Amino acid sequence: MKNNLIVIAMLALPVAGCAKSPDSISPAYVSEVGYQNWSCAQLSEEAGRLSTALASASVQQENARTNDTVGVILIGLPVSSLSGDNIAPEIARLKGETEAVRKASMFKSCGSQNAAARPAITTSSTN
């Protein structure tokens, strides 16, 4: 029985070091105070920049997660996490900044202004 527990612990150890999925990473705390002096247009632009950066980082993190899984299967080690490809802290920061921008936008009531500022999509038929 003791040997079984040791084997299970040894098998679980490499898996514990694997990169997390981007969706499972919690946002880091970022105060919205730094964004409260920004205009609604600036907040909207920053939200777009953060969204793009988060999407790119999520792809990189998902690749690290896949490489870790392959590494654990082939050699028993999470190679991406060991080589520094795991960027979970960066994803947590980007999620935190996104949340701070969202809170600052809500504080300034930007949602209704942004909706009014967006161009309407129109369709025209040329028959």
Residue 7 within any structural domain of the chain: no
Residue 5 within any structural domain of the chain: no
Residue 14 within any structural domain of the chain: no
> C-alpha angle with apex 20: 75 to 98, nearest 5 degrees?
150
Residue 11 within any structural domain of the chain: no
Those residues with Cβ within 8 angstroms of residue 3's Cβ, 6 or more apart along the chain or in another chain: none
Domain count of the chain? Answer: 1
Amino acid residing at 36: Q
Residue 101 within any structural domain of the chain: yes
pLDDT of 117 reads 39
| pLDDT tens digits in sequence order for the chain, 127 residues long | 555 544 444 444 444 457 677 788 899 999 999 999 999 999 999 999 999 999 999 988 888 777 767 666 666 665 555 555 578 889 999 999 999 999 999 999 887 544 433 433 333 344 4
Residue with tokens 């802290």: 89
Q: What is the pTM of this model?
A: 0.66
Domain that holds residue 38: 22-109
Residue 77 within any structural domain of the chain: yes
